[in-house]
Structure 1
Amino acid sequence: MDIKELHWLQQVVPLAYRALEVLAKWPKKRPWPSPLTEQGEETKSPPSKRRRTVVHAERSSNRKIWVKQENLSRDIDGLFATTFHTAHNQDEFRLRTGMTLQVFDMLFSLVGEQLNKNSIRRPIPPECRLFLTLVYLSNAERVLDLSKAFKMGSSTVRCIVQETSEVLWNTLAPAFLPQPNVEDWSNIVAGYQATWQVPHCLGAVDAKLLDISYKSENDMILLASCDANLNFTCLDIATVTDAVNNQLHWHQDFGAALLSQQLGDLLPAEPLPEAEQKTNFIYTFIAGASFPMLEHLVTPYVTQRLDQDQLHFNQHLSRALAGSIDKAFSVLMSRWRVLSLPLRQSPTNAEKIIRAAVVLHNFVKLHDETYCPASFLEEVPICPAKHKVPNEWLCSLPQPPVKCNATIQLRESMKKIAGCKLESKIVEALVDCVEWTAQ
């Protein structure tokens, strides 16, 4: 071995030792299985790229910062901290939440436990969750504005509104919007007879078109009935699946059953209270001219030429509708203004919000005298025309005309009773006029 070879070995050997040290410290991996695996030995395929991506995502989710720096002070200067805990002004609190502080406390006692969250991080208090949701429903604030006011992330605000709306419906609906029983229907009938002199009335029905403005879904229909005291008794929600062919998808049984004449008799047929003939008549709902004449649904006469009795019946029915279901929807959409503007929610989340607003209407109206006093009912604006449902959408289901006979007979009898009342009023007015002239 010559001198040159010795110099070469002196340079290579240290490099080889360093390479061995690095390899010894390198993490050990399972050797790839040989293609010539012995029979009976379990073979495993190498990990896929998809698996490695999932593992990488799981590792990246273990973040240390959960709240942005600008939102860390929400317990000090956020809207909840500055308004709720220092709410000495009842009017300001009611304007923000749609109810008084006492009613809020009553509502929180019912739903507060279900709004509690268990987390390794400090959860948002249940009072704040309820307060934020009521502010959103009552004032139709944008999610971005609420995010800045409450010092929360936009996704957190959306999640709180959706979860709280669902809790409100699931908790309040069994007590404040239950499925009416025979006694409830009888009380509704008595209320319409006493208040509006409309016999055999199970309630007034109307439908409103709500804009959800979400991707390809643009319309949702809220159909509801109410009693004479403006409490909602039944509701259903429909999504417009095909506006061209007037196809609706009803989410519950009430809307589809009513419009397809499959509702059934909710009360047994009985004679009208003021009719001369003791003929049994069915009990029905009443609705405006945008609805078709159906079984269990009385609507006005729509012929071009109306006689005096028909005209008086239409006026009588119109007053009852204006004072009941029209007022109920006007109060609902005025107090819970989120329904009057585009919701910008998915159909599933929009339905949760709509249901929460309806059941809150019944709850707050029962416990808060300032919710819809007589002065408010006189000034409340009617629902805008943009919320009117096209007539053809409500007539899209097949209507067997033979099933309307009982309803047509009821309307004819109601027309005669209304005509007799009109004649008696005219006679009384003439008698009073003659007596005043004689004096």
Structure 2
Amino acid sequence: MDIKEVYWLQQIIPLAYEALEMLTKLPTKRPNLSPRIIPPPPSKRRRNIEVEKVKDNQRRIWVKEENLSRDIDGLFATTFYKTHNQEEFRRRAGMSTQAFDILFSLVGEQLNKNSIRRPIAPECRLFLTLVYLSNAERVVDLSKAFKMGCSTVRCIVQETSEVLWNTLSVAFMPQPSVDDWRNIVSGYQELWHMPHCLGAVDAKLLDVSYKSENDIVLMASCDAQLNFTWMDMATVTDAVNNQIHWQQGFGGQLLNQSLEYLLPEEPLPGTEQQSNFVHSFIADSNFSLRQQLLTPYQEQQLDDDQWHFNHQLRIALAGSINKAFAVLMSRWRVLTEPLRQSPSNAGKIIRAAVVLHNFVKLHDDSYCSVNYLEEVPKCSAKHQVPCDWLVNSQQSLANCKATLQLRKSITRILSC
């Protein structure tokens, strides 16, 4: 070892001792030398879902900015409050302001909503629904006019229509009592010399245009004053085999001859005969003769008395059920356009329009005035129900003997 190596060791040894002293002062716990497990990076699909959730949370606001001014320049604010006593209100809502106030007093409490947000006023909910039913405007147009979302408009219309039917039907379209049926019979006897008539019946075809459901049949009866007394709806399950499903029972029971007798058999008025006859509804030739359903004679080889009976029956139908449906579909034009709703929601709208007909007719003299009845257009041919849906080719006249005897006796009375 030469002198240079000695000098090098003298410099290195002190440094080594200092390093050993520092190591002795460190903690004695050994570090975890196991390999670190790194989680795999999130997949691309997961990242996309997380990004979409963030965007959805950013879009979910209570009211869109363009709809914040609906209490100032929305259709409800500009029409309901500023023109509450003008003719524009009647054109929009389909009734007078007085009738609206009475209607709101009946259903307003059920239209109140409790929410942490400021709810839409019940007057606005009712007014919006009436505008929709009366003018058949599209939901998109109503959304812009009232400054609401489309889903909000649909929800308000469906909820309010259901409230209208549930509330008004009890008072303005109840199941007739025995006294009510007798008043209906006397009304047809006085106006059209049609005895033992429980009312006129007809059916209209309404377009739903929802997925596979394209048709709803509305059948109703009315009294001599054009008030609807009974109604039923049917969905066409199989148009080829004429399979129709009636919802509330009246239509199916009447067409299937299972309807209970509403009044007992009695003699015909104005005759000396002591024989008793049944009471019956009347309908046109689209229906077939049934128990408690009186229809015209078939057109082949009619004698004078039979022709006169058919003529008088057509006059009674034209003055009652035909006009009732014409007023209904001209005042509540939503029934003349495709509803574009599910069958259940479409049923709510149809029932609301029918019961509103009875309500407004009673509280608004201009709704069904004489001048309006002279000008009201007839229902278009597209609403005509195919005869095959209302006529059962396998129907036997064995159960219709009482109705046949009633028709023959009325024919003899009219010939005199």
Alignment TM-score, normalising by the size of structure 1: 0.82
Note if 1:223 corresponds to 2:229: no
Q: Which residue does 1:32 correspond to in 2? A: none
8 Å CA contact 1:188–1:201 kept in 2: the answer is yes
CA distance in structure 2 between the partners assigned to 1:203 and 1:57 by the alignment: 60
Partner of 2:238: 242
Equivalent residues of 1:247, 1:396 under 8 A apart: no
Number of equivalenced pairs: 375
SS of equivalent residue, structure 1 residue 131: helix
Q: Do the aligned partners of residues 59 and 117 (structure 1) sit closer, same or farther apart at CA in structure 2, a change above 3 Å counting?
A: farther
Structure with greater Cα Rg: 2
Deviation at 1:402, TM superposition (A): 1.0
Q: For 2:253, what is the secondary structure of its paired residue?
A: helix
User: Is the counterpart of residue 129 in structure 1 residue 115 in structure 2?
Assistant: no
Q: Percent of aligned positions with the same letter in both sequences?
A: 69
Where do 1:174-193 residues align within 5 Å? 174-193=170-189
CA distance in 1 between partners of 2:109 and 2:80 (Å): 19
The SS at the match of 2:191 is: helix
Question: Residue 71 of structure 1: which of 59, 67, 70 is its match?
Answer: 67
- Alpha carbons of structure 1 residues 309 and 397: separation in structure 2 relative to 1, 3 Å: closer
DSSP-derived class of the 1:223 partner: strand
CA distance in 2, matches of 1:399, 1:70: 61
Q: Report the residue type matching 1:225 in the other structure.
A: S
The answer to whether the aligner puts 1:200 opposite 2:196 as a matched pair is: yes
Distance in 2, Cα, partners of 1:321 & 1:62: 60
User: 2:116 matched to 1:114?
Assistant: no
After TM superposition, the score normalised by the length of structure 2 is 0.86
Q: Does 1:252 align with 2:213?
A: no
Instruction: State how far apart, in whole Å, the 1-side matches of 2:113 and 2:392 are.
Output: 45
State the secondary structure of the residue aligned to 1:271: coil
Name the aligned partner's letter for residue 352 of structure 2.
A
Q: C-alpha distance in 2, partners of 1:184/1:400?
A: 31
CA distance in 2, matches of 1:267, 1:225: 16
Unaligned runs of 5+ in 1: 18-22, 24-52, 421-439
> In 2, distance between residues paired with 1:397 and 1:244?
14
**1:153 is matched with which residue: 146, 149, 154?**
149
Amino acid at match of 1:302: Q
Q: Contact 2:165 / 2:351 at 8 angstroms: preserved in 1?
A: yes
AA of the residue aligned to 2:374: E
How many angstroms apart in 2 are the aligned matches of 1:135 and 1:231? Answer: 22
- Report SS of the residue matched to 1:204: strand
Deviation at 1:88, TM superposition (A): 4.5
Aligned-residue Cα RMSD (Å) equals 2.5
Task: Give the drift of 1:245.
Answer: 1.0
Q: Distance between the aligned counterparts of 2:235 and 2:405, measured in 1?
A: 34
| Residues 64-89 of structure 1 deviation map (CA, whole Å, 9 limit, x = unaligned) | 62111111110111000111011255
Give how far 1:197 is off.
0.9
Q: Quick one: distance in 2 between partners of 1:180 and 1:62?
A: 56
Within the candidate set 250, 259, 284, 1:288 is matched to 284
Per-residue CA distance 1:28-63 (angstroms, 9 max, x = gap):
xxxxxxxxxxxxxxxxxxxxxxxxx9xx98997797
Counterparts of 1:347-366 in structure 2 under 5 Å? 347-366=343-362
Unaligned runs of 5+ in 2: 1-14, 32-36, 38-48
What SS does the corresponding residue of 1:302 show, helix, strand or coil?
coil
2:185 alignment partner AA: V
CA contact 2:125–2:156 (8 Å) conserved in 1: yes
Q: Distance in 2 between matches of 1:174 and 1:412?
A: 38
Distance in 2 (alpha carbons) for counterparts of 1:331 and 1:60: 47
Q: Which runs of 4+ in 1 moved over 3 A?
A: 56-64
Q: Does the 8 Å CA contact 1:246/1:393 hold for their aligned counterparts?
A: yes
List per-residue Cα deviations over 1:219-242 (Å, max 9, x = no partner): 000000000000000000000111
- Tell me, yes or no, if structure 1 residue 327 matches structure 2 residue 318: no
User: In structure 1, what is the Cα distance between the partners aligned to 2:108 and 2:282?
Assistant: 38
1:96-118: per-residue Cα shift (whole Å, max 9, x none)?
00000111010000000000000
Deviation per residue, 1:190-220 (Å, 9 max, x gap): 1111111100000000000000111110000
Q: Output one character per residue of 1:237-259: Cα deviation in whole Å (capped at 9) or x when no partner.
A: 00011111111010011000000
Contact in 1 for aligned 2:288/2:392 (Cα 8 Å): no
Alignment correspondent of 2:336? 340
| C-alpha distance in structure 1 between counterparts of 2:358 and 2:253, whole Å | 24
Q: Which amino acid aligns with 1:337?
A: R
Query: Does structure 1 residue 402 correspond to structure 2 residue 398?
Result: yes
Q: Counterpart of 1:72 in structure 2: which amino acid?
A: L
